[in-house]
Amino acid sequence: MGKDAVLLPNFDAPAEAFVTIMKDVTHVVHCAGLNNDHGNPNEADYLKANAELTEQLARAAAAQASGRFIYLSSVRAVVGAGFSGTTDEETTPAPQCAYGRSKREGEIRILDAYASYGRSDAAVLRLPPVYGSGMRGNLAALMRLADTALPLPTAALAGVRSLISAEAAARAILHLLTHSSPLRPVYVASDVRPIPIVAILEAFRQGLGRPKRVVAVPTGLIRPVVSLLGKRKSWDNLTATQICDPSLLISEGWLPEADTIERLTEIAQLSKLAQAR
């Protein structure tokens, strides 16, 4: 932890504890949260971390901070992992998991907190999976899967996904903090082009120095196997096409990442170099 870092109070701490840490603060970017990378949280754990704590922080910021409040949310606040289609700022939220429901509740609470103070300078920034150094979650799992010399029967994976680089996400945050137009309640960010899951694996394999070796296996042969193994839901998630439409942010002057494949390859190369040290 850096010397200027300040620990957040617990979600059930008195309001004054949150007001105290807002002293001399102009803008707030709230990116802390609980996801399934940490232990085995239940619904109540998610709500405490991602909704109740968020509300406490937002209320203190609305009362004390003079600038803007940006809440980093997730596409999971809107759709489930098996959803196929395109989401934008107008998509009606229908989260399908405990994490997604807690992030959606966090969105509602920060906007309500600012509205209760007569303020409209808070916004939600919904992101697809974020890639970069130290990434976790499904993208990290895909890179581990790619790091093998064995052939992968993945050519049947028809899923296409929107992703966003950590740098592009940071640029989106900076844009929302500094652009002169009034904030809208919700924004969606992503790289320019969604890419097939197979292309993600191939980019990782190239960066890791692994042979391509992606084998075309008919979907009709895979589904019975994954069903027998109790992995049908995971398979359906991998074959879903989830696209985030960042048109609104782009229309305001934000520049998204255009070279997703090159960036994924570079991240895999850096990961391999780090492992070799």
pLDDT at 155 over 80: no
Residue 45 lies in a domain: yes
For range 93-103, the mean pLDDT? 94
Do 44 and 63 lie in one domain? The reply is yes
SS3 call for 7:
coil
Q: What is the pLDDT of residue 228?
A: 55
For the segment 56-78, what is each residue's pLDDT rounded down to a tens digit? 999 999 999 999 999 999 999 99
pLDDT at 50 over 90: yes
Burial of 211 (0-12, 13-18, 19+ CB in 10 A): exposed
Could you tell me which residue, 276 or 34, shows the higher pLDDT? Answer: 34
Share of the chain above pLDDT 70, in %: 86
Residue 174 lies in a domain: no
Do 40 and 119 lie in one domain? The reply is yes
Identity of the highest mean pLDDT range in 33-37, 79-83, 228-232: 79-83
Do 154 and 269 lie in one domain? The reply is yes
Residue 136 lies in a domain: yes
Do 157 and 43 lie in one domain? The reply is no
Q: Which helix (H) or strand (E) holds 16?
A: helix 15-21
* Residue 116 binned pLDDT confidence (cut-offs 50, 70, 90): very high
pLDDT at 91 over 70: yes
* Residue 254 binned pLDDT confidence (cut-offs 50, 70, 90): very high
Do 139 and 122 lie in one domain? The reply is no
pLDDT at 103 over 90: yes
Cβ density class 168-193: b for 16+ within 10 Å, e for less: bbebbbebbbeeeeebeebbbbbbee
Do 31 and 89 lie in one domain? The reply is yes
Block residue for tokens 């949150």: 18
Residue 76 is part of a domain; what is its CATH number? 3.40.50.720
* Residue 150 binned pLDDT confidence (cut-offs 50, 70, 90): confident
Domain that holds residue 104: 8-127
Q: What is the pLDDT of residue 133?
A: 83
Q: Final residue of a domain: which of 104, 127, 150?
A: 127
DSSP letters spanning 99-142: HHHHHHHHHHHHHHHHHHTT---EEEEEE--EESTT--HHHHHH
* Residue 126 binned pLDDT confidence (cut-offs 50, 70, 90): very high
Q: Largest alpha-carbon pair distance within the chain? A: 61
Do 88 and 67 lie in one domain? The reply is yes
Do 266 and 144 lie in one domain? The reply is yes
Block residue for tokens 């070799």: 276
Task: Report which of 186, 153, 160, 156 is spatially closest to residue 172, judged by C-alpha positions.
Answer: 186
Do 39 and 150 lie in one domain? The reply is no
For range 49-54, the mean pLDDT? 92
Do 61 and 75 lie in one domain? The reply is yes
Do 158 and 68 lie in one domain? The reply is no
Q: What is the CA radius of gyration of the chain?
A: 20
Cβ–Cβ under 8 Å, residues 257 and 194: no
SS3 call for 77:
helix
pLDDT at 44 over 80: yes
pTM over cut 0.75: yes
Identity of the highest mean pLDDT range in 205-214, 227-236, 248-257: 248-257
For range 107-124, the mean pLDDT? 96
For the segment 232-242, what is each residue's pLDDT rounded down to a tens digit? 555 566 678 89
Residue 202 lies in a domain: yes
Distance CA 20, CA 24 (A): 10
Q: Which helix (H) or strand (E) holds 165?
A: strand 164-165
The domain total for the chain is 2
Backbone angles phi, psi at 130, to 5 degrees: -100, 130
Cβ–Cβ under 8 Å, residues 142 and 201: yes
Cβ–Cβ under 8 Å, residues 58 and 69: yes
For the segment 177-223, what is each residue's pLDDT rounded down to a tens digit? 999 889 999 999 999 999 998 888 889 989 988 887 766 665 555 55
pLDDT at 12 over 90: no
Residue 251 lies in a domain: no
Residue 120 lies in a domain: yes
Q: What is the pLDDT of residue 1?
A: 47
Could you tell me which residue, 198 or 118, shows the higher pLDDT? Answer: 118
Residue 46 lies in a domain: yes
Do 104 and 33 lie in one domain? The reply is yes
DSSP label of 96: -
Q: What is the pLDDT of residue 98?
A: 93
Residue 1 lies in a domain: no
Mean pLDDT, the chain, integer: 86
Distance CA 165, CA 134 (A): 12
